[in-house]
Chain A
Amino acid sequence: MGTWNDAISAKYAYIADEYEVAVVGAGHAGCEAACAAAHLGLKTVLFTLHLDAIANLPCNPSIGGTAKGQLVREIDALGGIMGEMADLSAIQTRMLNRSKGPAVFSPRAQMDRSQYSRRMKERLEKEPNLTLCQSEIVEVLWNEDASAKSICGVKTKSGACYPVKAVVICSGTYMESRTIMGECITESGPDGLSRSVGLSQSLRDAGIPILRFKTGTPVRVNALTVDKDEMDIQPGEPDMPPFSFGNEMAGVEVKKEQIPCYAVWTTEQTREVIKNNMDRSPLYSGVISGTGPRYCPSIEDKFVRFSDKSRHQIFVEPMGETTEELYLQGFSTSLPEEVQIKMVHSLPGLSHARIQRYAYAIEYDLIDPTSMKLSLESTILSGLFTGGQINGSSGYEEAGAQGLLAGINAALYVKGEAPLILDRSTSYLGVLVDDLVTKGTSEPYRMMTSRAEYRLFLRQDNADIRLTDIGHRIGLVGEERYAKFCEKRAAIEAEEERLRNTYIAPKEELHAILRAHNSTLTPSGVSLAELVKRPELHYDDLAPVDINRPALRKDIVFAIEVDLKYEGYIALEKDRIAKFETLEKRALAADIPYESIEGLRLEARQKLSQRKPLSVGQASRISGVSPADIAVLLVYLDAQKRKGREAHA
């Protein structure tokens, strides 16, 4: 099993076209991976069970949100496509956290679900080097020699054996999945689509550890049967910048006509209905075995866990311009259909609502992410990369980001080049990958801003400053776009320099502005930079005393304001990052005999031997390795150095 020769010799098997990279699954991760590999010049094939459900949004019909919006901007900065796709299909936009500071601004947009999928298909079909194929992959094929396994092909259900050099699996929630609605269990993928059978077993055969998770999706109702007057309206904000930096630099406005969302609160009746039917809940009756996400609990979960709260807020979101379907965010459940109807009817404005799609829970197979390297390549099977929910994450943005990285690294692998590794101080993507690979996860992992230690530095507005150079170096960001980016960066630096060196006299002109904003008057000349730093003043406010200023785009002004207002704090954060980097750069050789380092506790020895971290920094994040263990490790490395033996990277 697993080897090429076995696969070929089976009945009805045949050798199909050769490709350099094969991507399995056309969800958000798969689309990014396929696009990236193809764009980097490799002959790529993208397999999917359903060509009509490419880049499906099976749950929340939106892209972005807290921490997720940051991920989308990072995908775009690196040269991925999610940002552009989101800009094209947005029906409502809102920058979250506007009332807080810019470090936590998060762009979010409701998507027209079917449009998003169609546009993505169109985009992929037009990508040179990329072939789409509707076919089910059931096996990964590998060569094995004394030291390691390396991938050499994939096999479809219909017997086609494709020779490939690298494989990226982005199976999402489709492997061996079951959907559960009360007592009704169906062997199916999300949205009633067919699932993947056999691939999970093939990975097991290769020695890859497999886990099982659960997630859920809520009810969809028909808008014509809903009374919006009884709900609180949540309008969008048309001034959110585009997700894509390319669009932002070109001054493209995303979606002027906004379709509103609504919000309602659950009622006593809702609580009663759920309470009286808990025995029919598959979660609480033991039918569901997979672990669900803590951050995205079903509505019955919420009532049980937060029993002191009498009500929960539900958001009613439109799903597209040409559909009447409304998505009830916060109302996912796996209670039976009958009960769902009663639950929906207990909500204000929804007492006569007709349900078009029922809610369900879905269980699926995935791999243990700690069996991957930081490049998203498997430690067990060389040339096998994975991205998306198969790695234990949840969410389209988390998937897209991983898919992009996996696709890039699959391409670099085939080219024989070193992989791209992003660390925690460079991006949310870095945090995401490091969390999954180094710490592992026991439930679907959702990105949150609190997971980032350097949140002030990892902002949505500076993703391009942080990552575009890398995207360009790899080859995903084209020359034209890169040139525009360099212009933007230069303009920011030049203007900041000018602001620091331009002094405004303490005359009435300036004082009038200061008074208008309750800002203290200046006894002597003060630089424009000093003024912009003040929390109560903005760059635009100072125009009257700064008539010779260059005309600058909104995004450039925004970047300058943040840089100046948070200068001290950003410097503090950069110090912390520098400290972090010293431990990240302290390399650990693969052959360190952890078992015989006495000062390490037993658990630490086991974990370190098993996981073989690349650096002391990564070691410190493995669960079971305490700071005391790290101190011992540092002393050990020092002793080794003294003995004249350096630890080689």
Chain B
Amino acid sequence: MASDKPYCACATPPGVSGIALIRMAGDGASTVADRVFVLRRAALGAKSVSEMQGYTVAYGHIVHPETHKIIDEVMLTRFTAPHSYTGEDAIEISCHGGTAVRQEILRVLLLAGARMALPGEFTRKAFAAGKIDLTQAESVMDVIAADSAMALEAAESQLMGTVKKEVRRISSSIYAVFAAMEMMVEFPHEEEYPQDDEKQEAALQAILHDMDMLIGTFSQGRILKEKMTTVLVGVPNSGKSSLLNRIAGFERAIVTSVPGTTRDTLEVDTTMGGVPIRLIDTAGIRGTEDEVEAIGVNRAKKATGEADIVFWLVSSENFRLEEHEEMIGDLAKLSKNTKLGLLISKSDTGSNEANDAVQKAILSSFAGIEDAHDISFIQNVSATTGEGIDAMCDMVKAVYDALGVGHGQEVIITSERHYERLRAAQEHVKEALRVLSHGEPKEIVCLLLRTAMEEIGEITGDSVSEKLVDTIFSRFCIGK
């Protein structure tokens, strides 16, 4: 195979950051690097990148290969084949995080003989070099995308193969039943092999249970990947924007005291209680003739309807019960299927009695509506003092935990693809059990179990189809 140019890309996301990371891998990476890197200090007395040992770092400058103009002050790490991510020679440059600098460094690398990496090329090469398997490749993407502690944990555990292990264990159990069925089909007239259908039926029941448990973890797993939608609702100027800013930690929303300032829904990805959430701040909902505001209000109602958690803010400041009538009606309808929390906001501005009075008024009005479920979470909060925010975090975590199936379940399915495969396999196993218990032909049971194993095999990469490989690698973007 003709040797290819080394390929490079920026591995850190676009946007401003303190440091950026540029990677280059492939045969000749060090040679290309030497054309643009002026080494000032390196471990073990190396004078150039090609002289550096693997796993060592050097300090120096990236310069234009012809003019030698200094572009940036950087740290350069060298990896020698096969001890690198892709198994090839590689270098990583830690440079300053400005966009211009990054672009310039990439440009000179290209001038010096490298080419831009294709989407997912680094991980694809790692896979091709046998460094990681298919499901690990998949989880690299997840680790990168994980922006909460739990999601990271789940992704890392997949990288370590715990999902694979559990799925394989289930597959082996299916195989045991399959083998027994095959025996009965293959050697019918030999009395030497007893027909113990009941034992096999029991085994299939156990397998279905295990599959249920594993599939059930996806409801939590999905959250880890897609985040729990948490919507803040309340009449205009009830303190939603301030609270959102407080929780998210920066000035995302414009906060003024004129009602109706937030014109649209604002979304912030953050975590509460370690759980990744998408916090949505809705426009102040009130009857309005303002068209723009009306659009915002509709969006808000839609977001509220689809939320996992709704935090309803009511402030004791200028409190009038009639203003909240429509909201009480809407939320009562939702209370059956959505987790609802009542927050007495701006608690620092009102007295204890005022806050309690508001709470009582809202609750009794709420209770008066037919079909309204009780509000289980009630809390005084203040964006200014921070009161109640910890309690909110606990509540979010509790909702997340309640989604979990069985405690102590270490393996979590986060991938939609895995979930679909398991579901499909489970359907086949269910059908197999039905066929077996009805005394229908055993070779049908064999077919169904075999198909189930093939589906599961696609999760672990034990059975490979073209589509599978394509699907996994199509999700990648450049630099990873």
Contact = CB atoms under 8 A, between A and B. Distances in A.
Interface of A: 66, 96-97, 99-104, 309, 313, 448-450, 453, 455-456, 535, 566, 569, 572-573, 576, 579, 582-583, 586, 593, 596-601, 620, 627-628, 630-632, 634-636, 638-639, 642
Of listed B87, B442, B443, residue having the most chain A CB within 10 A: B443
Most chain B C-beta atoms within 10 Å of own C-beta, residue among A453, A583, A598: A598
Interface in B457-472: 457, 461-466, 468-470
A635 B126 CA distance: 11
27 contacts: A66-B188, A97-B185, A101-B442, A101-B443, A102-B441, A103-B443, A103-B444, A448-B186, A449-B186, A450-B182, A453-B450, A455-B447, A456-B443, A572-B447, A573-B447, A583-B465, A586-B466, A599-B130, A627-B461, A630-B464, A631-B127, A631-B469, A634-B464, A635-B124, A635-B127, A635-B128, A639-B124
Contacts of A569: 444, 447-448
B136 to A, nearest CB: 11
Contacts of A596: 1
Given A96-B188, A586-B466, A632-B128, A104 B1 contact: no
A167 B473 CA distance: 49
Contact of B473 (A99, A632, A635): A635
Interface string B120-135: 0000100111100110
Nearest to A459: B443
Contacts of B441: 100-104
Contact of A313 (B133, B182, B190, B443): B190
B455 to A, nearest CB: 10
A401 B440 CA distance: 32
A589 to B, nearest CB: 14
B432 to A, nearest CB: 11
Contacts of B133: 628, 631
Contact of A582 (B182, B186, B465): B465
| Leading 3 A-B pairs by shortest Cβ distance | A101-B441, A599-B128, A103-B443
B191 interface: yes
B473 A576 contact: no
Contacts of B1: 593, 596-597
A520 to B, nearest CB: 14
A103 B441 CA distance: 9
B289 interface: no
A309 B463 contact: no
A583 B186 CA distance: 28
A616 to B, nearest CB: 8
A98 to B, nearest CB: 9
B316 to A, nearest CB: 62
Contact of A309 (B186, B188, B192, B446): B192
A231 to B, nearest CB: 16
A636 B466 CA distance: 12
Contact of B188 (A99, A102, A598, A638): A99
A448 B133 CA distance: 34
A136 B457 CA distance: 52
Nearest to A101: B441
B475 interface: no
Interface string B153-193: 00000000000000000000000000000100111111110
Contacts of B192: 309, 313
Contacts of B34: none
B188 A100 contact: yes
Interface in B319-372: none
Contacts of B469: 631, 634-635, 638
A367 B324 CA distance: 89
A456 B186 CA distance: 14
A450 B130 contact: no
Contacts of B440: 101, 535
Given A627-B464, A628-B134, 15 more contacts: A100-B185, A103-B441, A103-B444, A455-B443, A572-B447, A573-B447, A599-B130, A620-B464, A631-B133, A634-B464, A635-B128, A636-B128, A638-B469, A639-B124, A639-B128
Contacts of A631: 127, 133-134, 461, 464, 468-469
B185 A598 contact: no
Contacts of B454: 576, 579
Contacts of A572: 447-448, 451
Contacts of A448: 186
A558 B125 CA distance: 54
A286 B189 CA distance: 33
A639 B119 CA distance: 12
A599 B129 CA distance: 4
B464 A96 contact: no
Contacts of A620: 464
A104 B185 contact: yes
A450 B464 CA distance: 21
A448 B187 CA distance: 10
Contacts of A597: 1, 128
A283 B64 CA distance: 78
Nearest to B128: A599
Contacts of A598: 87, 128-130
